[in-house]
Amino acid sequence: MESNKIKHTMITLDLDTLDEKQLQKSLKILKKHGFNENVYVSKSPGGHGRHVRAWCKPEKALTLEELLELRKKAGDDLMRVDLDYYHGRQVGVLFTNKKKKEFK
């Protein structure tokens, strides 16, 4: 796991649903933790979910462990969170095309 001294100001979520209530719940959780700057929401390339990218102000930045826990709370794809935890990273990659592995 990377050093807890590094703070992150960007979060990405891969929501496996198009449900508007779930999206609003996720955005509310992010906002509660300061991730309400430059929020971008798009439909996932498969068309069955949503991708969210948001930033916070530097004073609200989180350690990697805090960020991964927030992603879980906000409904991120648990397999993706667990992989990032295992590899000790906050990748921030959301693919725009699953077949070509293009990313934002």
In this structure, is residue 93 part of a structural domain?
no
Say yes or no to pLDDT of 97 above 70: no
* Residue 19: per-residue pLDDT: 96
Q: Is residue 75 part of a domain?
A: yes
pLDDT interval class at 1 (50, 70, 90): very low
Report the pLDDT value the prediction gives residue 102, as an integer from 0 to 100: 44
- Whether residue 104 has pLDDT greater than 50: no
Number of H helices, E strands in the chain: 3, 5
pLDDT at 94: 52
In a domain, 96, yes or no: no
Domain span at residue 52 reads 10-88
Domain count, the chain: 1
Does 102 fall in a domain?
no
Tens of pLDDT, residues 11-45: 999 999 999 999 999 999 999 999 999 999 999 88
CATH number at residue 44: 3.30.70
Mean pLDDT of the chain: 85
Whether residue 72 lies inside any domain: the answer is yes
Looking up tokens 């906002």 gives: 31
Domain membership flag for residue 4: no
Specify the pTM.
0.81
Q: Is residue 55 part of a domain?
A: yes
Q: Note whether 93 and 102 are within 8 A (CB).
A: no
| Residue 66, domain member (yes or no) | yes
